[in-house]
Structure 1
Amino acid sequence: MAETVSDVFIETIMGWGVDTIFGIPGDGVNGVIEALRTRQDKIKFVQVRHEEAAAFMACAYAKYTGKLGCCLATSGPGAIHLLNGLYDAKCDQAPVLAILGQTFSDLKGSHFQQDVNLARLFDDVSVYVQELANPNQIEMLANEACRHSLNHRGVSAVIMPIDYQLAEPSGKYSMHKGRENTTSNWTRPVLVPAAGELQKAATILNAAKKPVMLVGQGALGAGDEVIALAEKLGSPVVKALLGKAVIPDDSPYTTCGLGLLGTAPSEDVMKECDAILFVGTSFPYMEFLPKHDKCPGVQIDDMPDRIGLRYPVEVGLVGDAKATLAALTELIDRKDERPLLESAQKGMKDWWELMEQRAMRDRTPIVPQRVAWELGKLAADNAIVSGDSGTNTTWVARQFKIRKDQKFSCSGTLATMAPGLPYSIAAKVAFPDRQSIAFVGDGGFTMLMGEFATAVKYGLDITVVMIKNNVLGQIKWEQIVFLGVPEYAVELHDIDFAKFAEACGGVGITVRDPNDLKPALERALSCGKAALVEVYVDPNEPPMPGHVTMSQARKFGEALVKGQPQGARIALTAFRDKISELI
């Protein structure tokens, strides 16, 4: 049988390493679905319940594997639903290919059913977006889309009208690109800055008495190099959220996270340092960074336009994190005196004692910190942990102690709700032999909860651990702490999520007593099925920053005075556990 446009397209993207596509069939992509059906022994299609989840899964697949993630949606509303997940990929620099159906080519612009200008709609989210205008274009478009996504770590979109998908390309497919030239062995180039630039950076770092490193997701896979440089510099290593897995949380060199969900020692070292090295991060909260007039900066990033984006640096090293760190370390003199690191290590000893003390309070409702703390001890050494957005992010960032071979990700820059469950599904599809855990809140989970049925359908034994407080917690605390007003419109209706999980065919467990928490987590992690553990936690436990400012304390008090519901309980919890530190 003659090859169709869809056949050529699927064969071409397979040549670029695409082995899994997440999506929903529809009449706008039926030709592509047929090409997938006839190749189901070579490429996996995962049917989801919502296109937004498909895009999240493609994003997570790219993040966790380093390969090209791929999602598919039909014309009109199907394609529109992909956008939030694709913006997640754009913001976190994950290479994703979106395959979009389109109405008949000769009916476009006639207000026909599902006639949407997808090229214009996807222009902002994509590094490459093209609509097929001629069947002979298809191989070229497929190659260009894959090349752009991988080279620029972004989203590419190929729009395919219905009538072209089953057409048969003629001749040699395109005038300037033949089938035999499809690139199937693409690898990311390893860039190392020039020796002179490395020496400039080394001079700044060698002169510093209290250097600090801030590492992000660009340093993933370079943990050994980060530690080697930190050892010579005598430098604490602060981790941006997406860089949580760069080095273990119990490393003697790290002060863990920074910012509203970071640690007090991380804030302290940023105030005391006299030089800073950024590695693979565009950490956005500049108020937590040092004062530049007292702290010269060096930055390593493989994207030139990221150099100096958040902080004016003296030296920008454009290069691969792993190779550049190794080359830079050769030029660094080992510091015998390391006052900032020693101070940070003492601070972290006290911090972890405080975190355990807060987590292990025997209270009902259960304190949310305990859920992450207990889970961290029970998770497998190579577990993949997917976070969501909300107060749950604070608890997993702080209380889940990540180990060397574990992976972690979430929606970092976009910080959208709902990706935790889809991320965990993608992780399990990519690594079926590894434990996959979603750490979510009840608000974010509800948005795409139908994907739990997807996990059951494909026999994916993911574990969903839910912080259940029946409130949009992050928004609640933003209203109270940053605006100084009582919470409003954040209360959620109580859903029996355990019964929902069971109705889908999985395991559902409800926990209300702290003594039942550990056994419930153990059961969920070992049951061999998709499992959900909903843990009723105290909705009045505030996710306060490492250090509370006077402004935050004042706003907090203003909200209580204005009639914050449960104000007395909140005040008791917060002032006992956190604000008393300010005093």
Structure 2
Amino acid sequence: MTASQRPSTEPVTVPEVAHEWHKVLDPDELPEGRVTTVSVGRRTLAVTHVDGRFGILSNRCPHQGGPLGEGSIEKGWLRCPWHGYDYSPCNGEPPEGFADAPEAYASEVRVDGVYVALPAEAEHPRTVSDVMVETMVNWGVDTVFGMVGHSNLGFADAMHRAERRGDLRYVGIRHEGAASFAATAYGKLTGRLAACFGIAGPGSTNLLTGLYDAKVDRAPVLALSGQVPSKTKGRGAFQDMDLANAFKDVARFGEVVLSAADHAELMTLACKTAIVDKDVAHLIFPDEVQVEPSNQEPSGPDGRTGSREIAPPAAVLAAAIETIRGSQRPVIVVGQGARADIDGVLELAELIGAPVITTFKAKGAVSDHHPLGCGVLGRSGTPVASWLMNESDLVVAFGASFSNHTGIAPYKSIIQIDHDPMAIGRHHPVDIGLQGAVATTARLLAEGLDGGHTCVDQRPIIAERWQIWREEKASRRTDDHGAGLNAASVFAELSEHVPDDAVICVDVGNNTYSFGRYFEVAEQDVLMSGYLGSIGFAFPAAMGAWAAVGDSRKVVSVSGDGGFGQYAMELTTAVKYGMNITHVLLNNSELGKISKEQRAGEFDVWATSLHNPDFAAFAQLCGAHGARVTQLDQLHDAVAAALAHDGPSLVEVVTDPLLM
């Protein structure tokens, strides 16, 4: 739009309706011939200074919403920076032949500055987003991790209102991938629902990796996506993507929120699916729907779910009891699916004196100091667990998936217990499959065996195997090639000093294999990217864990330099929110696990070296506590100081890639 005539200079009159005067500028703040942006409450205004007069308009161009305060003054007109539409800087009138005009307000120049007359702000109308936020809060969502942007502002505003009421906490992250990992970790730790939040296009696609981690590890997560306005959808608009199809594989439940939908019930179905199925639910909010007025009432979980304490059929249960009764050296394998019901499993184990071995995902479900605890089985495991598995004549598996990482031999006689019928015999046939809740089934098995059995009490054997392994670990702590610390020493120090009730988040790579093998767990909860095995998981997961436990428990994360580098800037997020997280970073300046695999496959070691900063100094620049360890005699004090620090801390340990 161009104009040859001069713009109208008629000033805006003071409104007759109730209004309030607000100062917007100091006397000499805005030079002649300029425009600027000023905020007053929730309003954003474009303030102009032209020919000695001050004009005040809405900052929103009526054409496509361009920010007039970022425009320019040309030939007396205020020109929109987006498409060149012109308006009178005094009163917003367009040139002859055009009817659209931004709202204009009366102004007044006083001794102390420029003032604007604005009507009182109306009470905010209840919107679709308010209904859906209140519903997800009713389902227990108390934390959302995400990034606010142009296509999710209406939903963000509703979350802001919920946060002011004390119903919700919002954690603004630096990358949406960290948001989904944090929400996933929250679900893995608590079984409750957290949410992650992004804009249309890349903001939402960045969520996908963490959501796949939730899906394959059976963690409940709610994903919330903004979307471009419906009228531009499918027409090649900026950041216009088919998010429904993009998320179709990862989300058990996914829907676009339409104007005429039952919005409360849609959110209820999303939350219920995520919680009951332990999976991902995804909702997409077109821009204009987010702010539509709504008089719907929020929904909630009352009357929506039933008890899941199901028991196996009596005949199958009896067969399992008789099989265990006749065995001599049974072992119990505990997977992630049994973590919440471990007390019942331990009662059964103590009754028959059976070793309790965990999958790597379930590390921490059973203390390594329990008389029957044997640590992790498989690639990240202990010789204690592997020896007792080899000597066993029966495997009783609770909530375990039999993945190749764990390596439960299919030739063993196997009883498998799981609430999910698809989990039983998933990878190979088992002798007896019991579909039932872990706690219920363990109790029924113990009751059936209480009358007698032939099982050998293996406690003395377990103690002997632990002694052998601990002597071996002590020997490995003396290894020194002069290229950094060995993993056995690092995890011996952490085993001694990490609080027994801490939450520990681990990454992937050699550092994580070493953690599984060397760290002796007490009562800590351990979180990991299990089946997805995503590098970079640890630190965002620690943010999610902190959101779940606050300062009531210490949160510790462990990664290599490759993993931490994925989301290193989230350290500033931890500083911003005062997260009490200690991160232990094992720095060997390479992707050590990949180097090892290249050597094992008789390939050249290639493209695995890393150029790193001084991570301890980086932590300090971010506002966190940072310490760097290059010698063994520095390790104790550095770990102790970091764990004692109130707030985010990082210990960088230079390690030998060949001693992991």
Q: TM-score, normalised by structure 1?
A: 0.88
Letter of the 1:103 partner, please give it: V
CA distance in 1 between counterparts of 2:299 and 2:597 reads 56
Work out whether residues 421 and 438 of structure 1, in 8 Å CA contact, stay in contact via their aligned partners in 2: yes
Q: Check if 1:227 corresponds to 2:350.
A: no
Tell me the equivalent position of 1:446.
Answer: 565
**Range with greater deviation from structure 2 (221-230 or 150-159):** 221-230
Q: How does 1:73-84 map to 2 (within 5 A)?
A: 73-84=198-209
Q: 1:477 aligns with which of 576, 596, 617?
A: 596
Mapped to 2, the partners of 1:512 and 1:286 lie a distance apart of 32
Q: 1:67 aligns with which of 171, 185, 192?
A: 192
Alpha-carbon deviation of 1:341?
Answer: 5.8
In the other structure, the counterpart of 1:88 is: 213
1:247 to 344, 352, 366: 366
Give the corresponding residue for 2:424: 307
**CA offsets 1:213-264 (integer angstroms, 9 cap, x no match):** 1111111133322222122233221110111111101222122111111122
Query: Equivalent residue for 1:18?
Result: 141
Q: Which amino acid aligns with 2:627?
A: I
Q: Is the Cα contact below 8 Å between 1:216 and 1:279 reproduced in 2? A: yes
Please name the residue that 2:25 is paired with.
Answer: none
- Residue 296 of structure 1 pairs with residue 413 of structure 2: yes
For 1:181 and 1:538, the matched residues in 2 are separated by 53
Map 1:41-120 onto structure 2 (within 5 A): 41-120=166-245
- Measured after TM superposition, the shift of residue 360 of structure 1 is 5.1
Post-superposition offset of 1:291: 4.0
1:508, distance to aligned residue in structure 2 (A): 0.9
TM-superposed deviation, 1:65: 1.5
CA displacement at 1:139 relative to structure 2: 1.3
Q: Is the 8 A contact 1:273 1:340 kept in 2?
A: no
Confirm or deny that 1:205 pairs with 2:324: yes
Q: Distance in 2 between matches of 1:244 and 1:287?
A: 12
Aligned length: 532
Q: 2:515 aligns with which of 389, 396, 399?
A: 396
Q: What is the rounded CA distance, in whole Å, between the counterparts of 1:299 and 1:153 in structure 2?
A: 20
Correspondence 1:165 to 2:290: yes
Question: Which deviates the most, 414-423 or 203-212?
Answer: 203-212
Q: Which amino acid aligns with 1:201?
A: A
SS of equivalent residue, structure 1 residue 288: coil
Is this contact kept in 2: 1:363–1:514, CA < 8 A? no
Looking at structure 2, the residues matched to 67 and 507 of structure 1 have their Cα atoms a distance apart, in angstroms, of: 31
SS of 2:197's equivalent in the other structure is strand
State the distance in 2 between where 1:476 and 1:349 align.
32
CA distance in 2, matches of 1:186, 1:375: 41
Q: Does 1:269 align with 2:394?
A: no
Map 1:384-463; keep pairs closer than 5 Å.
Answer: 384-404=503-523, 406-432=524-550, 433-463=552-582
Residues 362-391 of structure 1, C-alpha deviations (whole Å, 9 max, x = no match): 664211221111011101121111000111
SS in 2 for 1:18: coil
In structure 2, C-alpha distance between the alignment counterparts of 1:72 and 1:233, rounded to whole Å: 48
Q: Which is bigger in relative contact order (C-alpha 8 A, separation at least 6)?
A: 1
Contact 1:279 1:301 (8 Å CA) reproduced: yes
CA distance in 1, matches of 2:282, 2:520: 38
Inter-CA distance 115–197: structure 2 relative to 1 (3 Å threshold): same
Whole-angstrom distance in 2 between the partners of 1:291 and 1:402: 28
| TM-score, normalised by the number of residues in structure 2 | 0.78
Match of 1:580 in 2: none
Contact preservation (8 Å) 1:280, 1:321: yes
RMSD: 1.9
Please report how far the alpha carbon of residue 182 of structure 1 lies from its aligned counterpart in structure 2 after TM superposition: 5.5
Candidates 626, 632, 647, aligned match of 1:508: 626
8 Å contact kept, 1:272–1:340: no
What residue identity is the alignment partner of 2:472? L
Cα deviation, 1:94-140, whole Å, max 9, x if unaligned, reads: 00000011111121111111111111110110110111122433212
CA contact (8 A) 2:268 2:300 kept: no
Letter of the structure 2 residue corresponding to residue 33 of structure 1: A
Structure 2 residue runs without a partner (length 5+): 1-123
Separation of aligned partners in 1, 2:603 and 2:300? 62
Tell me the CA shift for residue 186 of structure 1: 5.5
CA gap of 1:196–1:529, structure 2 versus 1, over 3 A, is: same
CA distance in structure 1 between the partners assigned to 2:481 and 2:344 by the alignment: 42
Q: Give the C-alpha shift of residue 189 in structure 1.
A: 2.2
The answer to which structure has the higher helix fraction is 1
Change (3 A) 1:20 1:188: farther
Shift of 1:357: 2.5
In the alignment, the residues of structure 1 paired with residue 300 and residue 468 of structure 2 have an alpha-carbon distance, to the nearest angstrom, of: 59
Kindly provide the CA deviation profile for residues 304-333 of structure 1, in whole angstroms up to 9, marking residues without a partner as x: 111111331122222221221111111125
More strand by share: 2
Q: Which runs of 5+ in 1 are unaligned?
A: 544-583
Identify the residue that residue 159 of structure 2 maps to in structure 1. 36
**SS of equivalent residue, structure 1 residue 45:** strand
Tell me the percent identity: 34
